[in-house]
Structure 1
Amino acid sequence: MTLKKNSILIIASLAVFVEALDIAIINLTIPAIQKQFLVSNDRVQWLQTLYVLLYGGFLIIGGKLSDVKGPRQTFIAGAILFLLTSLSAGLSGTFLMLALSRAAQGLAAALIMPSALSIVTHTFVEERERSKAIGIFSSFAAVGSGSGLSIGGIISTYLGWHWVFLMNVPILAVIIVLGWFYLADDAPKQKQPSPDLFSGLLLVAGLLMLSYGVHQLGDIEEQYSVIVFCGLGVALCMRILYLRLTRRDNPLIDLKVFSTPSIITANGVFILLGAFFTGYLFVISLLMQKDLHYSSAKAGLLLVPFSILSAVVAKFMLPSIMKRLSTEQTGLLGMVCMLCGGLVLIGAVLAGYSLPLLLLSAAFISGLGMTICFTSLSVLAVKNIPKQHYGLASSMGTTTYFLGAGVGLSILTLFMDKGNAGASVSVLSLAILAVYALIGLLWLIIYQTKNAASKAEAPLEVLQSLHDVF
């Protein structure tokens, strides 16, 4: 790799590191934010819900804008927007301003991620060189996501929650300046059709109304009309979106890609994985700080080993696992880890907030399950589909993950305060988490069984295939 290519890779990787960091970094700052703005669990979760819904809802548009306007322009525009919204979030004097800033951050992240990846793939054209570059790029995203909890906890304890956002400003300023000078002007020479922005707006509007309607179910007698309005709004948005996707020459999403059972399964389980893992990050921060009374810094440091474990699994264990097991079996193994982690988490609360059990659940979920699940589902999402749909199929996996995260978190917070008196998180809400993992596991088992049956395998061979997972 030349010096210029290395510089471009560092610029793109740093940007995606900041974007990935902000997905998890807010979790251990939640008690401090609640204390300042006097907001409940079901309101504070909107800081995460808005971010992931707008991120997921506009991710495909971000990718298409990168193709239409050029990766450099889209990347710099996203970085500028992320800088401004980070500054706005850090200086927020009201919860509403903070929530709106987080929503805009999600939109900025949807511009940065696909354009940064496009910059890397266009810069490194030789196959081996490209694979190495994408590996480095992906590792920055993984480290950013994995270290978010610990970094957020330390910053929140010693500098205050505002600096979780303000720290982005100087980093992004450097990225923007370097990107302006180092990244080549790669605007397409031929004019391409603009992405269907309206379809993206319909998708996000429908999901926001769905999330808000779910929130109001806990007070259905007083909010009945609001719930009905949200339900009608969701139905209308999804109907118009479907018509646009089936009738336009250049739709936002080509629905033909969903004719493949593997991609339906991968995206369905991605939704459940997003709901499970985002909910887990939310509840673990509350359990460790409000129930075990640890500082943000101590809670974050306790979770650092599992970020390291995740990196070790990804680098050294996962390649050999995927050589021994099929993609579907690897996904089963990952979802089994998630379900075990969810059940151990319930046991930790029932055992009087046992720290060893809480950390064991983190080992199953953050250390093992997430890395195995996300990788195997990403591979499954592009299995058995035409090459011309690879890009769409890959982005759909990330999109459905974040959409599941937003809606799943809204469902979870409905049950946060049900049951355990005086506790920040109820056993019922943790049971909802376990149900997400259980449904995902059953979905994969059904797919594996049908897939094996279609190949005329005997029932005993199907059971043996599932047995190989363990």
Structure 2
Amino acid sequence: MSALPTTNPPRSRWLALGVIATGMLMIVLDGSIVTVAMPAIQADLGFSPTGLSWVVNAYLVPFGSLLLLAGRLGDLIGRRRLFLTGVVVFTAASLLAGTATSPGMLIAARLGQGVGSAMSASVSLGILVTLFVEPTERGRAIAVFSFTGAAGASIGSVLGGLLTDALSWHWIFFINLPIGLAVLAVALPVLPVDRGLGLAAGADVTGAALVTAGLMLGILTVVQIDGQGWNSVRTLGSGALAAVLLAGFVVRQAMARNPLMPLRIFRSRAVSGANLVQILMVAALFSFQILVALYLQNVLGYGAAATGLAMLPAATAIGAVSLGASARLNRRFGERSVLVAGIVSLIGMLGLLSRLPVHADYVTDLLPVMLLAAGFGLALPALTALGMSGAGDDDAGLASGLFNTTQQIGMAVGVAVLSTLAAGRTDGLLAEGASGAAALTGGYRLAFTVGAGLLVAALAVTLATLRRPPGLPAGTAQHAPAKHAPPAEHAPAPAETA
């Protein structure tokens, strides 16, 4: 039985895309909106310096570890049902977070937000690629969707700063309530009803337990490296156990009758290569999304609102490129070429940041960096199209969950590696007698340099693995053939616009 939705008229498809993109924007915003509000949260709720990191980690761990399971569950029980359930859970958890009066209450709410986010995010791309089967329309839809990931984090920094300064940190969570309710109100009539394959088609309970436990333990290990250290018994032990669990999951998938994650999906060079590139790229760009905000506040003395406004040109540049040009460029030059151009731009961005002075001038030292962030608006839509191009209809939810999972793995790796390197370099410079501002800047520079190196590795993987198949013209994505394409009478008219 196919997991495809019932056919929707063109206008409903674009409304459905708007619902999916808005839901994803809410999720992406929540991942970054807390960054600039962390000092206010700590002061109000009495978090310890170590405990404060769990405002982020309590969201990241369930989100990253449940995406793959949730993606396959969407294929089995219906992606619409899982998406709507996730929005409900996320919105309810946001209300709890906004009313939190203790660290424990806020951490519990953030766990709930992570679970709801995983449910909705895991199937979003799966819904999209089954709604838009015509290559040109799919390219435009992916460009809109990718904007939420490419610019959403920067918008979150802007919004978080403004809400924290103008109202209070509580409103960075309350803002999700009207958005979530609006998404539900529009989604119910416009999201296509899909039956799903049925639990009997892939209810691999053992595999689900192995991969969920392995990912959760692995991400937990990574995000705690900053506090535990690389060589601690706890880090090495939990990391080894996570590796064993994930290896057991792979073995299980090769032998299971109805695997949770059919290994055939990795036969596609596009899928495998795109997911590896994403891990490297997202890990590198953590240094931009988070460390630049910390530099603005801790070194240059910007307030929360000023930090958000300083990041606004990046969000604007990313949005202009991803929404305005990326789909046309992908059609004309091909996703691989556009991805290469985007990564090169991002390497230049982090290269400039690696030379950031202690007393930077915003216009000359930081504004060019913000504008080069437009490379993310080129890279992510192209990478998303490549990451979903090898998935058939029955595996669309799985491929969506996998792509989102590698994004979260990249984020966790970036948090652990780059923040640990920056902190170690800062401590070393302080021991040598450097000023606080100089030591912090030196730590950030090292993280930016390593991030640039990760992007160079991403570029190498792109050139080596994401090759256009022989005979395929430039600008034509290698998408898996749809098993149940929409009937001709439901195809959009050529003149239709979004």
Using the size of structure 1 for normalisation, the TM-score is 0.81
Q: Match of 2:354, SS?
A: helix
The answer to whether residue 201 in structure 2 is matched with residue 201 in structure 1 is no
Q: How does 1:355-394 map to 2 (within 5 A)?
A: 355-356=362-363, 357-365=365-373, 368-382=374-388, 392-394=398-400
* 1:145-165 alpha-carbon deviations (Å, 9 max, x no partner): 442221111111111111101
CA distance in 1, matches of 2:101, 2:328: 50
Give the one of 151, 155, 162 matched to 2:170: 162
The answer to whether residue 96 in structure 2 is matched with residue 81 in structure 1 is no
In the other structure, the counterpart of 1:267 is: 275
The answer to whether residue 421 in structure 2 is matched with residue 415 in structure 1 is yes
Give the one of 95, 98, 104 matched to 2:106: 98
CA distance in 2, matches of 1:352, 1:126: 51
Give the one of 361, 372, 375 matched to 1:354: 361
Q: How does 1:42-441 map to 2 (within 5 A)?
A: 44-117=52-125, 139=147, 144-180=152-188, 186-188=194-196, 192-193=200-201, 194=203, 196=205, 197-212=208-223, 214-218=225-229, 224-319=232-327, 321-322=329-330, 325=333, 327-348=335-356, 350-356=357-363, 357-365=365-373, 368-382=374-388, 392-418=398-424, 419=426, 421=430, 422-423=436-437, 425-441=440-456
CA distance in 1, matches of 2:334, 2:311: 30
1:403, distance to aligned residue in structure 2 (A): 1.0
Judged with a 3 Å threshold, the aligned counterparts in structure 2 of structure 1 residues 33 and 249 are, in CA distance, closer, same or farther, namely same
- Tell me which moved more, 302-311 or 415-424: 415-424
Q: Give % identity.
A: 23
* 1:130-156 alpha-carbon deviations (Å, 9 max, x no partner): 776666555556564442221111111
- Tell me which moved more, 290-299 or 142-151: 142-151
Judged with a 3 Å threshold, the aligned counterparts in structure 2 of structure 1 residues 233 and 213 are, in CA distance, closer, same or farther, namely farther
- Tell me which moved more, 397-406 or 247-256: 247-256
In the other structure, the counterpart of 1:442 is: 457
Contact conserved, 2:297 with 2:303, CA < 8 A, in 1?
yes
Amino acid at match of 1:427: G
CA distance in 2, matches of 1:231, 1:214: 10
CA distance in 2, matches of 1:182, 1:385: 24
Q: Match of 1:250, SS?
A: coil
CA distance in 1, matches of 2:447, 2:149: 28
Judged with a 3 Å threshold, the aligned counterparts in structure 2 of structure 1 residues 105 and 139 are, in CA distance, closer, same or farther, namely same
CA distance in 1, matches of 2:234, 2:149: 39
1:405, distance to aligned residue in structure 2 (A): 0.3
Contact conserved, 1:265 with 1:443, CA < 8 A, in 2?
no
Contact conserved, 2:64 with 2:405, CA < 8 A, in 1?
yes
Amino acid at match of 1:166: F
Q: Match of 2:423, SS?
A: coil
Q: Match of 1:405, SS?
A: helix
Give the one of 19, 22, 27 matched to 2:27: 19
Contact conserved, 1:279 with 1:405, CA < 8 A, in 2?
no
* 1:211-264 alpha-carbon deviations (Å, 9 max, x no partner): 1552345485xxx33234323322332232223222222223233333455444
* 1:159-189 alpha-carbon deviations (Å, 9 max, x no partner): 1111101121233234335545665664448
Say how many residue pairs are matched. 448
Structure having the higher helix fraction is 1
Amino acid at match of 1:352: H
CA distance in 1, matches of 2:134, 2:266: 31
Judged with a 3 Å threshold, the aligned counterparts in structure 2 of structure 1 residues 281 and 191 are, in CA distance, closer, same or farther, namely closer
1:195, distance to aligned residue in structure 2 (A): 5.7
RMSD of aligned Cα (Å) = 3.6
Using the size of structure 2 for normalisation, the TM-score is 0.77
Judged with a 3 Å threshold, the aligned counterparts in structure 2 of structure 1 residues 141 and 301 are, in CA distance, closer, same or farther, namely same
1:335, distance to aligned residue in structure 2 (A): 2.1
* 1:326-383 alpha-carbon deviations (Å, 9 max, x no partner): 54443332222222222222322x3423323123222223xx2212222232344356
Amino acid at match of 2:245: C
CA distance in 2, matches of 1:178, 1:387: 25
CA distance in 2, matches of 1:363, 1:16: 24
* 1:413-449 alpha-carbon deviations (Å, 9 max, x no partner): 2234332542484523442343233233235336626
Unmatched 5+ stretches in structure 1: 456-470
